[in-house]
């Protein structure tokens, strides 16, 4: 996770068993981990070159993968995690990484989905929960819900309404996926 932690709060409040909260930078979600009985782990991007051209994506992905693989994790739920990972994580967790995205994919993939939807003038956008794959925002869609674009919407106002939907749809989808995985005591990483 990289963001404010509100999606993680919704995941925990929905009763999703969370083993570990992993973040790519210091964030509120790490502080919230303990309240959900989860371990907090920071794999800091700055240790792998930060946010510039020198970022070692493969090395960073290896560190994230190792951190998750060394713990009891059956499903990886990305929540505001702003770093695109390489294929090596999919070698370990393939088909078990889920993500939420603030648009009705395949419309408006990428980091600026809400701004792109406003710029396109669409009357409706929404959120998508999908399996993460090596291709950005292109994995199989598990759930979607529409959000109407209102006159006068800003990126911030529209994104907040999308997050309200995400905070309901994402935990429900995660619980469904966990129920489909074999074994009891299945726990997620956020």
Nearest-CA neighbor of 7 among 125, 171, 179, 144?
171
For 8, 118, 150, the CA distances from 81, given in Å and listed in that order, are: 11, 22, 27
**Catalytic site includes residue 90:** no
Q: For the CA atoms of 34, 36, 39, 43, what is the dihedral angle to 10 degrees?
A: -90
Q: What is the spatial distance between Cα 100 and Cα 108, in angstroms, rounded to a whole number?
A: 13
If we measure between CA atoms, which residue out of 88, 38, 99 comes closest to residue 63? 88
Rounded Cα distance between 114 and 95, Å, is 26
CA distance to 32, 50, 115, 120, per residue, from 76 (Å): 17, 23, 27, 32
The single residue of 101, 112, 130, 159 carrying the catalytic annotation is 101
Residues forming the active site: 101
């Amino acid at each position: 996770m990289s963001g404010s932690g509100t999606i993680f709060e919704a995941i925990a409040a929905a009763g999703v068993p969370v083993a570990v909260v992993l973040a790519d930078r210091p964030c509120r979600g790490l502080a919230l981990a303990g309240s959900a009985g989860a371990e907090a782990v920071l794999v800091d991007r700055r240790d792998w070159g930060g946010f510039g051209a020198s970022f070692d994506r493969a090395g960073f992905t290896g560190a994230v993968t190792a951190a998750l693989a060394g713990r009891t994790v059956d499903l990886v739920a990305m929540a505001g995690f702003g770093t695109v990972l390489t294929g090596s994580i999919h070698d370990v967790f393939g088909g078990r990484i889920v993500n939420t995205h603030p648009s009705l994919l395949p419309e408006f993939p990428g980091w600026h989905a809400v701004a792109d939807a406003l710029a396109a003038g669409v009357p409706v956008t929404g959120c998508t929960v999908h399996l993460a794959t090596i291709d950005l925002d292109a994995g199989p869609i598990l759930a979607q819900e529409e959000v109407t674009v209102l006159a006068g919407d800003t990126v911030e106002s529209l994104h907040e309404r999308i997050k309200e939907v995400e905070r309901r749809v994402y935990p429900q989808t995660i619980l469904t996926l966990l129920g489909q995985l074999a074994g009891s005591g299945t726990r997620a990483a956020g």
